[in-house]
Amino acid sequence: MLKAIRGPILAMLAAFAVSGAAPAVAQAPVPVITPNPGTVAPTPAPTPVAAKPGDIVHMAPTPGIGMPTDKIDLQPQETTIGVEAAWMHNYILVPVMAAMSALVLVLLLWVVVRYRAAANPVPSRTHHNTVIEVIWTLAPVLVLVCIAVPSIKLIAHQYSPPKADLTVKVIGNQWYWTYQYPDNGDIEIVSNMLKEKDAVPGRQQATGKERPRTDADGPALLAVDERMVVPAGAVVKIITTSNDVIHSFALPAAWVKQDAVPGRLNETWFKIDRPGVYFGQCSELCGARHGFMPIAVEVVPAAQFAQWVAFKGGKMPGAKPASNPDATSPTSPATAGAPAGSAPVATDKTIEGTAKPATTSQPATAQN
Ligand SMILES: [Cu+2]
């Protein structure tokens, strides 16, 4: 009996694993999706941190939004795709997994107890039961159909992006990110993780060459000196690639995870309506400092985005080149990683020494 039911159950589990293994691309039936769902938390009121007049003001992140929470759960989702996917995960995949595990456990226990040798001195020679064979063939098929329908719908939604309002090319490097804005005068942002206060030599701090993380930048290991800035409500097309090894651009609150592969261009997208700061991490083992190349995306109102672009020396599509004096100064963002974040020193003036090489002194072969 045990042997007889084991095959179909294993097949059922294997089939389920295949369908359920890719929640990132599996999405749900189209439940009613509210524009800004995923969480009941009120719209955060990001605390702008004022800098000197004329400086770009960056937002402070809102605890619990766009960053890990202390619950065992997915992060609150900020995109319609994320909401569909989280729904699929919470209301289809998890219940099916739990029910199937419980069923298998009960069947095993029943077989172990009911058909133990002590209670059955003469083994049964029973074989072949048409009814049960039909059941264990049809039941897995029905389970798979229940998963496949919402899953395929979700994939269709995920891979049918609306027309992009903005394209950002994301380049992975050992171990930092570069963000290029081809629609905005090819500005380039170099984004490095901010270290904790005690990890930054006092001399570096005193000379302004490197600043440590503050709470206004975000949580430890997630805060960066330069955030990717995108407008709220815009469809952002993300093109990923890499300069060295495979990295992965992941932004959990937007249900985005896309490998960045050298020599290839991969594409994904997101549209976040709520202004705020959203954090992610490189999600492909890429070497010794893989854990230290976080991602921070700052979603700002459109006007503020235009202001930021101008500040970085770029231009909005169709607009004249920015006349910002900084655009041509040595502090041009294209030349170095400027401090972003929302700390009091987040004035977007380039701090020397935080450019790419500063954090990439380890050889590419120093991998774990
Ligand atoms: Cu990486």
Determine the Cα angle at 247 with ends 179 and 285, to 5°.
145
Output the pLDDT for position 359: 39
**Looking up tokens 């920015």, which residue turns up?**
322
Closest of 283, 309, 288 to residue 367, by C-alpha: 288
Domain ranges in the chain?
Answer: 80-119+131-158, 166-311
Output the pLDDT for position 57: 78
CA 246 / ligand 1 centre spacing (Å):
7
Average pLDDT over residues 68-76: 91
More confidently predicted of 350 and 156: 156
CA 294 / ligand 1 centre spacing (Å):
9
- Beta-carbon neighbours within 5 Å of ion ligand 1: 247, 282, 286
Q: Which residues 6+ apart lie within 8 Å of 62 measured at CB?
A: 41, 44, 45, 46, 276, 277
Average pLDDT over residues 113-128: 90
Q: Is the pLDDT of residue 81 over 90?
A: yes
Q: How far is CA 280 from CA 104, 155, 227, 255, 336, in A?
A: 37, 22, 11, 10, 22
pTM score, two decimals?
0.71
Output the pLDDT for position 53: 52
Distance separating alpha carbons of residues 307 and 48, to the nearest angstrom: 15
Average pLDDT over residues 142-164: 95
CA 43 / ligand 1 centre spacing (Å):
31
Strands 187-191, 228-231: pairing is: unpaired
Q: Is the pLDDT of residue 33 over 80?
A: no
CA 270 / ligand 1 centre spacing (Å):
20
224-279: pLDDT as tens digits: 999 999 999 999 999 999 999 999 999 999 999 999 999 999 999 999 999 999 99
295-349: pLDDT as tens digits: 999 999 999 999 999 999 998 987 765 454 444 333 333 333 333 333 333 444 4
**CATH superfamily assigned to domain 166-311:** Cupredoxins -  blue copper proteins (2.60.40.420)
Q: How confident is the model at residue 281 (pLDDT cuts 50, 70, 90)?
A: very high
Q: Which two tokens stand for residue 198?
A: 């005690």
CA 245 / ligand 1 centre spacing (Å):
8
Output the pLDDT for position 54: 56
**Looking up tokens 């994301």, which residue turns up?**
170
CA 365 / ligand 1 centre spacing (Å):
13
Output the pLDDT for position 124: 85
CA 136 / ligand 1 centre spacing (Å):
44
Q: How confident is the model at residue 210 (pLDDT cuts 50, 70, 90)?
A: confident
Distance separating alpha carbons of residues 203 and 205, to the nearest angstrom: 5
Output the pLDDT for position 310: 93
More confidently predicted of 22 and 307: 307
Average pLDDT over residues 65-82: 93
